[in-house]
Amino acid sequence: MIIQGTETLTSLIHILSESLLTPVIVLLVISIVIVILSFGGLINEYISRKPIKSKDLEDLIRKISFSTNVDQMKEEIANSDLFDYQKEVLTRIADNYDIGPDARKALASELISAQETKLIKKTNKTDILVRVGPSLGLLGTLIPLGPGLAALGSGDIATLAESLTIAFDTTVTGLTVGALSFLISKYKKQWYESELIDVETVAEAVLETINKW
């Protein structure tokens, strides 16, 4: 039984609910395009990226540890197989060899943290879509079920079939967006975490070597 006086409110909610279907579908289309582009970027990055090998990292740390001046240290960093952004961070740390050890350590920590923030931003879109994708899919499932059930009550099978088709399509799309976004974010974060560990390891060697001069 519907409480008297709520007919207007329920009608308003029904209108608002149905009016959301188009925006939800548009957002799902935009989301799947973003995910496809991001997945292509992931494959391209996987093919093109060449992280430094463990043995080469060990050799670099030894060369830095035996450096006698900042120019030699910077040359070893520049000639290494590190990524450009890693070289930039380490070079900036080496350039500040003339400040106090505590200030130099704080600067190194800040430079690495700033780079970590930049890398995190690269996965922001897919991190958001991990949750938003399935939510949009669920909305796209539930919204057309109202008219579909109403059509079933009146014997309109065609409208019911159309509503169910929309519901299933949006569910599949939303789950696909969420699953692919999760994989993209997971692999990228693994890469970036490994790269940051390499930077921190070499930075420790740089700081220790400078402190000995």
- Alpha helix positions (H), the chain: 7-19, 21-48, 54-65, 70-78, 84-95, 101-121, 124-142, 145-153, 157-212
User: Measured between alpha carbons, how far is 111 from 106 in angstroms, rounded to an integer?
Assistant: 9
List pLDDT tens digits, range 63-110: 999 998 999 999 999 999 999 999 999 999 999 988 899 999 999 999
- pTM here is 0.82
Residue 79 gets which letter from DSSP? T
Query: Above pLDDT 90, what percent of the chain?
Result: 69
| CB-CB contact of 91 with 190 (8 Å) | no
Residue-wise burial string across 186-208, b where 16 or more C-beta atoms lie within 10 A, e elsewhere: eebbebbeebbebbeebbebbbe
Residue with tokens 């099978």: 157
